Amino acid sequence: MITYSFGDNLYINLTNRCTNHCAFCDKGHLQKVVNADLKLKYEPTAAEIISEVKKKEGYKELVFCGVGEPTLKLDVILEVLRAFPKKDTRLNTCGHAYCIYPDRMVAKELKSAGLKKINISLNATSKEEYDKTCKPAFPDAYEKMLRFAKDCADEGIITYGSFVSGFANEGKAKALTEKLGVILKIRKDLN
Ligand code: SF4
């Protein structure tokens, strides 16, 4: 399913590939919660997504998601953002953009394409904790994720740093998000 509704929002399922292997990842549970088949037969093109989004109405936010890491499809995200400049848009990401695209200024590109909000799954308050909990594909994922979060906030994108409830010390999470200039979000569900 390329798009699905959850709560007040419309979600775009860009990819099932991911650059993390989180301890709490439960794709089956997520599919039940949103009541949609999230397993993609193939990764949709920007044109397919734009055409599908144009048919939908009455939602609050347009959310780039996946059950995977959406920035693996960065150019698709940028093209879809440019097609809907007036929509309230959000990107839910694990924040590995600077690992996936070491030569691109991704925060700037997202801002220029019109992204309004970004939710970065920080999930940990130290590299050790992050590597243990999220098992990222990149050895420097934690440092680069923090830099990406700060850059997004500095670009003026409304930036949330999220933690899964029960997986991090909330006091330390608050201190880290304040240092980065992002908004703390403790997640209990997909939204
Ligand atoms: S980032 Fe999301 S999809 Fe990827 S492993 Fe973690 S919980 Fe699962």
pLDDT of residue 161: 98
Q: Residue 164 and residue 123: Cα distance in Å, rounded?
A: 6
- pLDDT more than 70, % of the chain: 98
Q: Positive or negative, the Cα torsion across 3, 37, 136, 76?
A: negative
How far is ligand 1, taken at its centre, from the CA of residue 22, in Å? Answer: 5
Pocket test for ligand 1, best of 16, 19, 67 (most atoms within 8 A of CB): 67
Whether pLDDT at 186 is above 90: yes
Pocket around ligand 1 at a 6 A CB cut-off: 18, 20-22, 25, 67-68, 94, 121
pLDDT of residue 189: 59
- pLDDT more than 90, % of the chain: 84
How far is ligand 1, taken at its centre, from the CA of residue 68, in Å? Answer: 6
Whether pLDDT at 48 is above 90: yes
DSSP-H helix ranges across 84-191 = 97-100, 106-113, 127-134, 141-154, 170-180
Radius of gyration, alpha carbons of the chain: 16
Tokens at residue 42, please? 């193939």
How far is ligand 1, taken at its centre, from the CA of residue 21, in Å? Answer: 6
How far is ligand 1, taken at its centre, from the CA of residue 20, in Å? Answer: 6
Distance, CA of 114 to chain centre? 15
Class of domain 3-187: alpha beta
Q: Whose CA is nearest to atom 2 of ligand 1?
A: 68
Q: What is the pTM of this model?
A: 0.95
pLDDT digits (tens, 9 = 90+) for 4-28: 999 999 999 999 999 999 988 888 8
For the chain, the domains span 3-187
pLDDT digits (tens, 9 = 90+) for 122-175: 999 999 999 999 999 999 999 999 999 999 999 999 999 999 888 788 999 999
Whether pLDDT at 190 is above 60: no
